[in-house]
Every structure is written in structure tokens, then in C-alpha cells.
Structure 1
């Protein structure tokens, strides 16, 4: 089962501090091959040549993830005699600390794993190669990756710095048993945010004592990102917040109205909720629904079977905007090539193999996000042994892609300065009674100042 990472407040803060120290004044050393690719050359000028020699591969993971990744590397080296792939991995919480140290010393691996949320912390410092020339030359084939998915690997300058291979996403996880008991069933296809609020209000009147219609969502930065994009607005432009103060006030006031009416969990309960999905309120029968990564359905179902036998969970897309625009944002993981790489031909061949080889994709089996290659994803879905929760997660991903999900390009400094601050700002409102508009004004001003400093 694939996993989605919501970085902890501590991890985000430590990574931000290390990145600032590591990249201060860094212009990014380049090799001959990497420099040519970064400057937009193609063919042999882009560093293409014999696929041979050693490359290092930098990724996060443990246990099964490491076994599967090393297994793909073994398949690649078997198909390319004379090539070796040296793994360089750690768990997610320590990964970016290590990567930042390697970046400042010019010692990044030739293939590094990144997510869109951290991509521009490196691309904006000139540390990553523009991969479009390698696509144009035929070294990397992305023909089976939908454009909306591929675009999640772009920097704020529009260049492609990451080839996404796995896509995570948030979904509305619904306890179908409680929803039927409350007389509301599942939200209908194409429901809007206004419909969502009405749905929760109706459900609250028919639920058992002690069960909330929803977990309080005002602290979740992803919820807000998805709310903004569903309404057709950009999150960031030119390294600054592009969402309006009014939109942020609207979002927080929506959750405050639901909280004060008793439709959601209390602010105290939400703050005390354990981070593990197995102990979350939706997975233990204390709330009818919540925003959760779609890939956590299997874990949540297992927990609910023990906590409330007979109750069932499923996932649906997030609400649409008033004009029907999708609000489900993809959070992709993918491969990048640093400009310091001295073996671009082999690095490009490795990424191409990972994306397109059937045996490699069968082995990895969407272990870090739904397979972004539509052909390989369909092959996985056609496996009769695929477990029901994974099938639901992958099929919902297919629906999301069909609905043309909006893209968010995160500026340098996003991870360090948005998510934790957003959570704390709403907690100040819900727990301490802070004024919503004043809090929104302060949050945006502080965010823009921090983002400007990170450019």
C-alpha cells in the first residue's frame, strides 16, 4: 500500500533551518552533462551517451519501500550491463536534512527523490536540471503520464525539474454506515463546498450521541489549498500568496460556524487527536467523515473493524467549486537530476526505466503514490489479487485525473513557512477566540515576508 507524507511541524522546521544554512549563497555546481541539460541542449549536447558506470540514488523509505526500490534498481542493472546503482536512503523525517547537507557540498546523488512541495527549495537555487531536453531527445519517455500529473513536477519558472512517478491525494473518508444511519448517504457526484456544508448540517441531526458529522478541518493546510483551487484561485504567484484575505476568512469562518453549531468535533478534541490514522476519529467511529489521504483507506478500515465492528468506510473526491472546478490537488513524488550529476545518460535511463518498464512497475506496485503511468496503473488494476482498499484508492485516482485536477506550484520556503503556521493560526481562533480577519491578515503578511526571504 502506498503512503502519503504530511511532514511534522518539527521536521518542517528543522529542514527549513538546515536548508537556509546549506544553500545560503549557493549557486549550485554543475557537471558537463548536467550543465548542458540545464541550459536546454538536446541529444548528445544534453549529456546523452552510453548508459554505463555508477549512479547514486537518493530516496526516503524503510522496510518494504527500500526492498522494492532496490529491486527496481536490480532490474535496471540487469538490463544494462556495466551499470551500478548505489542506494542512499533514510526515513522521511531525516531525508531532507541529509539532502540539504549534500546540496551545499555539491554531493547530491545523480537521481534524487523529491516532492512538489519541496521542489523549488532546490530548483530556485540552480541545483536541479531542466528535464525537458531529455524528454525531447527521447532519453525519458513521459508519453503515458497525463499532462496535469506531469505539471506537478514543474518549478515556479515553468521548467520541468521532477518526473512524478507516484501521486498521493486527499479524499473525503466517509463512514458509510453512519452516513446511512444519519439519512444522508454519500455526497453526490459533483457536490460543491456549499453542498458539503449542508450535508454535514443534515447529518449532525441524525447521528448517535458523541459522534460528530466531521472532524474539525480548519487546521488542515491541505483542506484550504483544495478549497482555494476548487474556487478557481491560485495559491501562489511570483513567490507570494495569491489567495485573497477574504477567501481565507471565508474558509475559517465556515469551520467556525460548523464547530460552534456542534456539527464537528470540538477544537480541544481536534487538537488532541493522535496523528496515526488508525487512531483517528473517523477510523474509530467518533466522526462520520474527515479529510484523509486516499491511500490510508486500508489502515482506517482495519482500525474501524476493531473499534466499531460492522461499520464500513469508503472515500470520495473533495467538494468542487461553484463552477464545478475540481479541488482535489495531487501531491506527487518523483525523480530529479541535480545539475552536479556527472552521469546524466545513466540517470536519465534509470528514470525512464522506472516510469515505463512493466516488470519494474509490477514490482513497485504503487508503493509511494498511485502509479502516474496510465498504462502501468491499468495493468495493476487488472490484477485480480489486488486488495479492495488499494483498488479503491487507485480507481479514485483515475477519476481525479479524468476530472483534470488543478496544479499548485509551491514557492521556495513553502514547506517551512506555510503548513505549521496555518495550523497554529486557526488553533488560535478555535481555542483562544482570536479574531478571524485579524488572524488572516497577520498570517498572510507573515507568510509573504517569509517567502520573500526564501527566494
Structure 2
């Protein structure tokens, strides 16, 4: 599962280009849809395009799946193109603004609302006779919805958890916490690991600069970052407490120092603190396999996100790792819908994809790939199943103008760490600037 935190952060910056291009569409009116309710399959040969980000194994599995699709649909030819994460969004913004986007495109949730609002991607409900989402649970399907309409079909599932380096725990005789652990348990474990190693290993890398973990923290305290109407509803006190918790860990010496944390912000996975054994725990999305591949000599495992003692059930939620969407300008939306249907419901395609795009959103795919999963992917599958069973409604999709929420959070969090601002003032600043960003975009 190769969806790295650094890549997501970079996406927020590149996203400004995409949003600007989508805004241009709204002004020019060139994103008008094709009346999907009237879409029909062509009897003549048709060529459609499919674009995604990713390389290596993703290219090989996608090309193999498309060949299977073309074999079952001999009159449809699929032109494929893959690029790296950053180039993908830059190129997509340009092609959308130019009125020549790919028919089917891989999407990230932070951009769905922006492209949907501008009319650049299609309401997929128009194509339900070609594209079935009945295999998906209601909560999973909802992660691709904007204002009650489905614009993106979830491909894989993701959730923030805590990666633990069991090799370090075993070396210093520290027991691995129980899965029902609390924030107090996390602190106690971090302190014990730091003390038993005489400071050679810090207990953990703290959270503080990413919205997925902030959202989970907020949901445990009866709050959210955004509401269903796309408004910022995060309470200043909730964000301040989120930072105070992590700040106390830094001050207690159970984490690297603020300067060490800043130096490691953009480190490659094989140089990350968890991979090199410098810390025993770290917060990550459920892409443990990427970390394990980067640290083959270490024994990694994953624990659930800790819970507040008084947290009500349903605070957990699933996040889609990525989606498939259709351009509203597609000349062949029925064929595009059939391609997405094949890629998300055909178990042969699911077997080819494995867990590379995240644990499959389709339960039938999960069952099909289970026997061939690596040990770390098996850990992730078990983890996601537990999260699924405990999840409430998904967090509202990132609204238009919110694409830089992570970048802004990380910037202010770093100021808090270095004492340039207090958690309370930093929280007020974050909420104010985020509200302004949404207002300006609206």
C-alpha cells in the first residue's frame, strides 16, 4: 500500500493548480456534462482514456486488468497513461481546463468536491445501469459523495493507526499495549520505552500536523473538522488540546525534539524514525507494507488509534485511499462507466490489483486476495476490518478551498512546537485562515 504521508502533503500544494484550472472551467462554461441519463453503449469501435498516478507494480496490474476488460469488450480500446503523483495533478488540471481530460481518472478525496462543484467530473448516478456500487457498504460509498451525489467510486480503504516497531519493544522488554488502549496508555508505553532504552530510542513520533489524525481526535470529542455543508466547525479548544497533548510528549522527552522532528519531516520511508529504530511508535495511514518494505530488518506491527476514555462509539471512520471518476466531457460515458464497473467489481481485476491501491473497498476483492497477502498486508486487512466494524459515518469530504488544510496545519503546528505561538493562539489562527480559504474559494 503506497500512499505516503509526504506525497499527500505535497498534493495540497499542487492542488492549487488544479483548483485554479477548475475555476477557469466554471467561468468558461466548458465543463458542461453530456446528459448522462441518455448515455448508451456504442455498437461501433470506441476508444476511451484512463489516467492514474503511480508506477511499477501499479502500472503492470492496471495494464493487465485493462487487457482483461478489452477482451470482454472487444469494441472498446483503452488508452492508458500513468504519471507520478505531482505531475498527475498538474497535467490533469491542464487537460481539464483545455477541455480534453481523460475519460476515466484516478482521484484523491481532497479534490473531489472542487472538481465536482465546477462540473468537471460526472455524477455517476447517471450511469448506474453500467456501473454498480452495490458491493460497497453505505459508509464506504459515501466517501465518494459530494452534496448527496456520487462523483467518485472508492478503490481502496485507509485509516490512521499506530505503527509499532516490535523489534525495539522486544529488545528492551517493553510489552506491546492492548488494542483497547487509551491516550494515557500511549503515554505510559512511550515513557517506558524511552526509559528502558536510556533514551537511545524515543517512545514515539507524535501527531500534530495532519488532518486525518486531527479528525479522529475531534470525533472522539464530539467534534469534526468540516460539517456536511462544507463549513469549518472545528472548535478552538479541541485543536488546542490536540496540540497540547503532543507538545507535552515532546517536553517530557518521550519523542524526538522539535528540531529533530522538523529535520525528519520529508525523510524517505527507509530513513524514517520508525524504520531506523529511533522510535518505537508512529502515527501512519494503514500503509504498513510500505514501511515494512523500507525496513526489512525490523518487525513492524499496527495498533488502532488510541481512544479517549469517554469517546462514544462511532468516532472511527474509514477513508478511501483513492477513487475512479469520469470526466463530464467524456464522449463515451457509458463505456467509461463499464470500465470502472469492471475495475471495481470483477474479481479477476481485484486479484491483479491486490492491496497495492489500499485494502480493496469491495469486500469480494478482499476475500479474493486474502490467501496471497504479505504478512504486513494481512495485518492491515485485519486492522481495516476492525475499523470497519467500529466506524460511524465517514468524515465529510474536504470542501472546496480546503485542499491546503494539511499544509496549513503542519505550518502552524511547527510554530507551536518551537514556542512561536501558543496552542490556543495557533488554533485560533488555523481556524480563521481555513475559514477564509473556504470563503475565498466559494
Structure 1-normalised TM-score?
0.88
Query: Which residue of the other structure, out of 396, 402, 418, is the alignment partner of 1:414?
Result: 402
Moved more, 222-231 or 120-129: 222-231
Q: Distance in 1 between matches of 2:316 and 2:83?
A: 32
The 8 Å contact of residues 55 and 86 in structure 1, kept in 2 or not, is answered as: yes
Q: CA deviation at 1:50?
A: 3.8
Q: CA deviation at 1:281?
A: 0.6
With over 3 angstroms needed to count, the CA separation of the structure-2 counterparts of 1:368 and 1:279, relative to structure 1, is: same
Q: How does 1:371-382 map to 2 (within 5 A)?
A: 371-382=360-371
User: Once the 2 structures are TM-superposed, how far is the Cα of residue 21 of structure 1 from its aligned partner?
Assistant: 4.6
- Counterpart residue number, 2:327: 338
Name the CA distance, whole Å, in 2 between partners of 1:230 and 1:327: 8
For residues 4 and 68 of structure 2, the distance between their equivalents in structure 1, rounded to whole angstroms, comes to 25
Q: Which moved more, 1:232-241 or 1:8-17?
A: 8-17
Correspondent of 2:260 among 251, 258, 269: 269
Aligned pair 1:397/2:396, yes or no? no
CA distance in 2, matches of 1:6, 1:240: 26
Offset from partner CA, 1:70-118 (integer Å, 9 cap, x none)? 1111111111011100113211111111111111122111111101111
2:427 maps to what in 1? Answer: 440
Residue aligning to 1:361 = 350
| Cα pair 1:121 1:412 within 8 Å, conserved | yes
Across the two proteins, how many residue pairs are aligned to each other?
A: 435
Within 2, Cα distance between the matches of 1:192 and 1:162?
35
Instruction: Output one character per residue of 1:53-79: Cα deviation in whole Å (capped at 9) or x when no partner.
Output: 111112111222112111111111111
Q: 1:41-440 counterparts in 2 under 5 A? A: 41=37, 45=38, 47-50=39-42, 53-135=46-128, 137=129, 139-155=130-146, 157-180=147-170, 185-237=175-227, 238-273=229-264, 274-297=266-289, 299-300=291-292, 303=295, 305=297, 312-321=299-308, 322-327=311-316, 329-383=318-372, 386-404=373-391, 406-408=393-395, 409-415=397-403, 417-440=404-427
2:125–2:149 Cα contact (<8 Å) kept: yes
* Aligned mates of 2:8, 2:375 — CA distance in 1: 29
* TM superposition shift of 1:303: 1.8
Question: Where does the alignment leave 5 or more consecutive residues of structure 2 unmatched?
Answer: none
Of residues 229-238 and 1-10 in structure 1, the stretch that sits farther from structure 2 once superposed is 1-10
1:425 positional shift = 0.2
Instruction: Measure the CA separation in 1 of the matches of 2:132 and 2:16.
Output: 33
Deviations 1:316-375 (A, max 9, x none): 221234224443542421111121111111011101100111211111212211111101
Offset of residue 182 of structure 1: 5.8
Evaluate the alpha carbon distance shift between residue 276 and residue 331 of structure 1 in structure 2; reply closer, same or farther with a 3 A threshold: farther
| CA 1:343–1:17: 2 relative to 1, 3 Å | closer
- Matched position secondary structure for 1:242: coil
Match of 2:16 in 1: 16
CA distance in 2, matches of 1:24, 1:49: 31
Q: Is the 8 A contact 1:166 1:334 kept in 2?
A: yes
* Segment drifting more, 249-258 vs 20-29: 20-29
Deviation string, structure 1 residues 179-224 (Cα, Å, up to 9, x no partner): 3566652332333334433443444433342211111322333321
How far, CA to CA, are the matches of 1:9 and 1:355 in structure 2? 27
Shift of 1:312: 2.3
Question: Equivalent residue of 2:334, what SS?
Answer: helix
8 Å Cα contact 1:301/1:312 also seen in 2 = no
Distance in 1 between the 2:5 and 2:54 partners? 11
Secondary structure of the corresponding residue to residue 96 of structure 1: helix
**For the residues of structure 2 that align with 1:325 and 1:245, how far apart are their CA atoms?**
22
Q: Residue 205 of structure 1: SS of its match in structure 2?
A: helix
TM-score of the two chains, using structure 2 as the length reference: 0.91
Check whether the contact 2:316–2:387 (CA below 8 A) recurs between aligned residues.
no
Gaps of 5+ in 1: 306-310
Contact residue 127 and residue 334 of structure 2 kept, 8 A: no
